[in-house]
Amino acid sequence: MPHKILLDESEMPTAWYNIMADLPTPPPPPLHPGTGQPAGPEDLAALFPMPLIEQEVSTERWIDIPGEVLDIYRLWRPSPLYRAHRLEKALGTPARIYYKYEGVSPAGSHKPNTAVPQAFYNKQAGINRLTTETGAGQWGTSLAFACAQFDMECEIWQVRASYDSKPYRGMMMRTFGGVIHPSPSELTQAGRDILARDPDSPGSLGIAISEAVEVAAQDPATNYALGSVLNHVLLHQTIIGEEALLQLAKVGETPDLIVGCTGGGSNFGGLAFPFLREKLNGTMSPTIRAVEPEACPSLTQGVYAYDFGDTAGLTPLLKMHTLGHDFIPDPIHAGGLRYHGMSPLISHVYEEGLIEAVARPQSECFAAGVQFARTEGIVPAPEPTHALAEAVREALACKESGEEKVILTALCGHGHLDLPAYDAYLTEGVNDHSIADADLRAAVDEALTHLPHLA
């Protein structure tokens, strides 16, 4: 059995998979915050080009990937699927662990899968500048790279906690031609309001989104791009799962368990949705499990309710598992998982019982990350160590039970620019920032009372 399961460029999928076509029940629509009525295309047109708005609401099963996007995907796609022989051996497990590795992309994660088509559709619509938020920096890097492909400007608000702790990410964005600001910033009303209340605010994804949206809404030639959460973003990421299906078929394997980390949900959805289709079809029956940090447990401890996607309340209301739109997670190292809400699609399939979710402390995740690095030779980003930790738990359970489970996980990025987090873990340890359930529920209830007509 080889370590690498590769696809030729000619085998790369040429359509994205839209899970909306196969869901037993449709997910609740986004609502206009002023009226409480379903938001129409016109409510999104100030921020997004029409092809992306159409993808957001489409129920077509397959959506063709444009040729220019495929040409850029070919720089790193199809991405490799690896069998973790050496990790399995170190664990002494009969389980077979596969990881789909997205760290080969220009940004070092799965994010360019959607950055490239978003830049493409915007350029086609005559847009010359995109604004966005970024947490750990993967998304900002991806959009900077994507904009460089289409000769567009890219302006990025990065959560200050990550901006300060991960300076290399900003350098990479600038190398790809992006312009970067720490958030909250003095450049927007949303930022200035936060800074007036808390000059030392560490920021959050919700705040950074407010800033980027505010700037885009003011300029007709500027649009906004979101790196996770929305339907069209998860759509673009399904190329991960489609490739993984082809790759596992090449070696005759069917997964028993699929684990992915969840922040906004795009990496998880990208891997899981094609397999969920097969599960709904009855062709396979994997357990599909989301893994989130204990410090930001939107699926396992949040409420399923309409809430804003951002902190300032500029976005449509989304029905999702949320910790409240003004929840600011503790500064755990997995910056990409520090988001108060969860993708409406992921939230919906979780409510429908089609997927499971667990929350894990970051110390356990780093331990798995170090073991993975020393056996498989790849230092994982802190985000996917959450999925790796769960894979390790399951593999050790198989060691006890003797089960030969096939475990598939998404290694959604490398940790080259997250090495200070590993250094902190190895030298002084990390705080798990777990939240007491009662404290969290009180905070969430408080946050959602700001949305009276939806209560």
User: Residues in the site for a copy of itself, rule: CB under 8 A?
Assistant: 2-4, 6, 8-10, 74-76, 86, 104-106, 108, 112, 145, 148-149, 168, 171-172, 174-177, 370, 373-374, 376-379, 414, 416-417, 419-420, 422-423, 426
- Spatial contact of 341 and 307, defined as CB atoms under 8 Å apart: yes
Closest contact distance (angstroms) between CB of 269 and a copy of itself is 24
Pairing of strands 129-134, 153-159: parallel
Judged on CB neighbours under 10 Å (0-12, 13-18, 19+), 2 is exposed
Query: Of 201 and 375, which CB lies nearer to a copy of itself in the complex structure?
Result: 375
Closest contact distance (angstroms) between CB of 423 and a copy of itself is 4
- Give the position of tokens 């300029």: 219
Identify which of 347, 132, 133 has the alpha carbon closest to the alpha carbon of residue 222.
132
Closest contact distance (angstroms) between CB of 406 and a copy of itself is 20
Query: Of 177 and 313, which CB lies nearer to a copy of itself in the complex structure?
Result: 177
Query: Of 27 and 106, which CB lies nearer to a copy of itself in the complex structure?
Result: 106
DSSP 340-386: SB--HHHHHHHHTTSSEEEEE-HHHHHHHHHHHHHHHS--B-HHHHH
Query: Of 16 and 101, which CB lies nearer to a copy of itself in the complex structure?
Result: 101
SS (H, E, C) 286-306: CEEEEEEECCCCHHHHCEEEE
Judged on CB neighbours under 10 Å (0-12, 13-18, 19+), 189 is exposed
- Give the position of tokens 């368990």: 257
Closest contact distance (angstroms) between CB of 113 and a copy of itself is 13
Closest contact distance (angstroms) between CB of 239 and a copy of itself is 16
Query: Of 59 and 175, which CB lies nearer to a copy of itself in the complex structure?
Result: 175
Beta bridge partners of 359: 292
Closest contact distance (angstroms) between CB of 328 and a copy of itself is 27
Judged on CB neighbours under 10 Å (0-12, 13-18, 19+), 310 is buried
Closest contact distance (angstroms) between CB of 111 and a copy of itself is 12
Q: How many other β-carbons are positioned within 10 Å of the β-carbon of residue 1?
A: 9
Judged on CB neighbours under 10 Å (0-12, 13-18, 19+), 186 is exposed
Query: Tokens representing 366?
Result: 């780093």
Query: Of 74 and 453, which CB lies nearer to a copy of itself in the complex structure?
Result: 74
Query: Tokens representing 434?
Result: 């777990």
Q: How many other β-carbons are positioned within 10 Å of the β-carbon of residue 71?
A: 11
Query: Of 10 and 25, which CB lies nearer to a copy of itself in the complex structure?
Result: 10
Query: Of 57 and 370, which CB lies nearer to a copy of itself in the complex structure?
Result: 370
Closest contact distance (angstroms) between CB of 71 and a copy of itself is 8
- Spatial contact of 324 and 447, defined as CB atoms under 8 Å apart: yes
- Three-state secondary-structure class, residue 260: strand
Query: Of 8 and 400, which CB lies nearer to a copy of itself in the complex structure?
Result: 8
Closest contact distance (angstroms) between CB of 371 and a copy of itself is 10
- Three-state secondary-structure class, residue 415: coil
Query: Of 176 and 268, which CB lies nearer to a copy of itself in the complex structure?
Result: 176
Closest contact distance (angstroms) between CB of 171 and a copy of itself is 4
- Three-state secondary-structure class, residue 220: coil
Query: Of 46 and 104, which CB lies nearer to a copy of itself in the complex structure?
Result: 104
Closest contact distance (angstroms) between CB of 410 and a copy of itself is 18
